[in-house]
Amino acid sequence: MSIEVDILPIAESNAETARLADLIEGVAGEFSPFEELHGFSIDGVDLETSALPEGWRDRLVKVQNPNTAAPAGEPQFTGWCLDKEDLCVAKLCALREKDRAFVAALLAHGLVDPAVILERVPTVGPRHQAAAGRAAAWISARRDSPGL
């Protein structure tokens, strides 16, 4: 289990998103008092560092329940999480060992559709096309493997 959470603040411009991401990380990043108190840290990310496939905003998954409420119960906050295949695209474009292990586990348990991931990989922005090529090769090799 990871002790870090990536947060992408939504703002009018990527410059503002990046500014907010830096603020979040400064307050709750690795080795912060927040991490010490809560046992996890928050990494602020922006649209330049995230390799997200085309249409990702339309597929965000709303999370709002008693666990997202303030201590008094109100207001109830809303979290927006990446669609599971969009998350896999971002993880595979990063292609770190922990990201490969994460996606491999999802694939092994049938929790994500490799065809959907493979379809979305090439739609990441131009800045991430080299990473998208590596991600496509990785997912293709697993999709063609027995047991998936």
Listing DSSP states for 7-48 in one string gives E----SSHHHHHHHHHHHHHHHSTTSHHHHHHS-EEEE--TT
pTM of the predicted model as reported, rounded to 2 decimal places: 0.84
The string of pLDDT tens digits covering residues 97-124 is 999 999 999 999 999 999 999 999 999 9
Return the higher-pLDDT residue of 88 and 143. Answer: 88
Domain parsing of the chain, residue ranges: 4-81, 84-143
In 3D space, the residue among 85, 88, 91, 64 whose CA is nearest the CA of residue 76 turns out to be 64
Phi first, then psi: give them for residue 102, nearest 5 degrees.
-60, -50
41 contacts 28 by C-beta, under 8 angstroms:
yes
Give the per-residue pLDDT at 56: 96
Q: Quick check: 146 pLDDT over 80?
A: no
Q: Quick check: 143 pLDDT over 80?
A: no
Contacts of 54 (CB under 8 A, 6+ apart): 120, 123, 124
Task: Quickly state the pLDDT bin for 22 (edges 50, 70, 90).
Answer: very high
Give the per-residue pLDDT at 37: 94
Q: Quick check: 3 pLDDT over 90?
A: no
The string of pLDDT tens digits covering residues 41-96 is 999 998 888 899 999 999 999 999 888 888 888 888 888 999 999 999 999 999 99
85 contacts 118 by C-beta, under 8 angstroms:
no
Q: Quick check: 4 pLDDT over 80?
A: yes
What is the number of other CB atoms lying within 10 angstroms of the CB of residue 138? 20
Give the per-residue pLDDT at 26: 94
Q: Quick check: 9 pLDDT over 70?
A: yes
